[in-house]
Amino acid sequence: MARLSDFKALCFDVYGTLIDWETGILTNLRPILGTNTDFSREKLLDVIHECERSQQAITPDLKYHELLTTIHPQIAEKLGLPKPSSEQSKAFGASVGNWPAFPDSVEALKRLGQHYKLVVLSNVDRESFSRSNSGPLKGTKFDLVITAQDVGSYKPNLNNFEYMIREVNEKFSVPKDQILQTAQSQFHDHHPAKQVGIRSSWIVRPGAVMGNRSDTVYDWKFDTLGEMADAVEAELKAPSA
């Protein structure tokens, strides 16, 4: 496939690509940080990612909001902070649905949805995604939503991608060579997508820390989803070669 517009389905990571995962989770970590300014953004995100990845391996079937509740005291311990109350940890886990969307997400999805099936492959649970979709994503219509809760494992587990490939083929008769993984995280999305034979579009979200790898893999690269939508529309308007 030489053109973006040749694909039939876009498979989205949500948190980090459509929703500003980093801002959302750091904002909701502030209650345990208090006035402490000793930690850089990178340090906080590294600790969160380390705790999250370890817990996902231990309890792959745990709902994401429950997983965040579980790792909240672990994060505090690694940072040398006082142990949070159970109420604080539950609030941290419940915050997912309030994390903000990137400013271009909703409009870009609307434009892309005119040409593609829009598929979600997310590491959160169904309840958290539903709250994000009805809130920050303003009721965007997705053709298929698959969460870690549905699969029983978390990305970058290849099971999640293979599950998605089967579902997209069964529901829309779209084979995997017509699916384009569209995501920010190299760790969670681009590398495993390549392993299962899916091409990908890297939405960089400049300044993002989570999921970055030095060995980047991708077929297309854009700073924002809005820029990708522009590129698709430009292809569709261009005369065929």
Q: Is 107 exposed, middle or buried (0-12, 13-18, 19+ CB in 10 A)?
A: middle
Tell me the C-alpha distance between 65 and 123, whole Å: 10
User: H or E stretch including 225?
Assistant: helix 225-237
Inter-CA distances, 21 with 26, 49, 124, Å:
8, 11, 11
Q: Which residues are the active-site residues?
A: 13
Q: From the centroid of its chain, how far is CA 150?
A: 15
Tell me the C-alpha distance between 115 and 200, whole Å: 17
Question: For residues 117 and 82, is the Cβ–Cβ distance under 8 A?
Answer: no
Please state the φ and ψ torsions of residue 49, each to the nearest 5 degrees: -60, -40
Nearest Cα residue to 205 out of 233, 225, 229:
225
